[in-house]
Amino acid sequence: MTYATAADYTEFTGQNSPPADIDRRLSRASERIDELLTSAVYPVDDAGMPTRPADADALQRATCAQAAWTLAVGDEFGVASAFKTVSIGSVRLERGGSADSAPARYAPDASSILQLAGLLPGYVIDGSPW
């Protein structure tokens, strides 16, 4: 289930055209939004889509924000930021120490949109809280 379309993405970002793989990226972003909504309570139809227009709009904008963020940081799967150093020639990966915070998984704008819409019961702590 995807909460936004390519047209929604271009309108949200103000871009003339979306990336070629935008449908896949929006699908991945919708999965991240579903993770954030784990304990949210709002009315849905039989397909699991929100029935209140304000909720549908918030999910659409949050999905677009999540997709845009992953494109901006260049780390769609949240794995590259888990390493301090990455080399390709002769492959060298250096993982951060245990004191380092976990890599970010959620776009700050996406969680803000959902929070302001009243869909999140609390705050999203992305990464290490300490």
Asked if the structure places residue 15 within a domain, the reply is yes
Q: Does residue 106 lie within any of the structural domains?
A: yes
Is residue 34 scored above 70 in pLDDT? yes
Count of domains observed in the chain: 1
**Structural domain of 110:** 6-116
Q: Is residue 130 part of a domain?
A: no
Residue 38 lies in a domain: yes
21 falls within a domain: yes
Question: Has residue 121 been placed in a domain?
Answer: no
CA–CA dist 65, 112 (Å, integer)? 10
Q: Is 2 left (phi over 0), alpha (psi -120 to 50) or beta?
A: beta
| Residue 104: predicted pLDDT | 77
Give residue 126's pLDDT.
61
Taking only the tens place, the pLDDT of each residue in 51-108 is 999 999 999 999 999 999 999 887 666 655 555 565 567 766 666 555 555 667 889 9
What are 6-33's pLDDT values in tens digits? 999 999 999 999 999 999 999 999 999 9
Q: Is residue 82 part of a domain?
A: yes
The predicted model gives 99-127 an average pLDDT of 78
What does residue 102 show for φ and ψ, rounded to 5 degrees?
-65, 155
What's the predicted TM-score (pTM) here?
A: 0.78
Does residue 27 lie within any of the structural domains?
Answer: yes
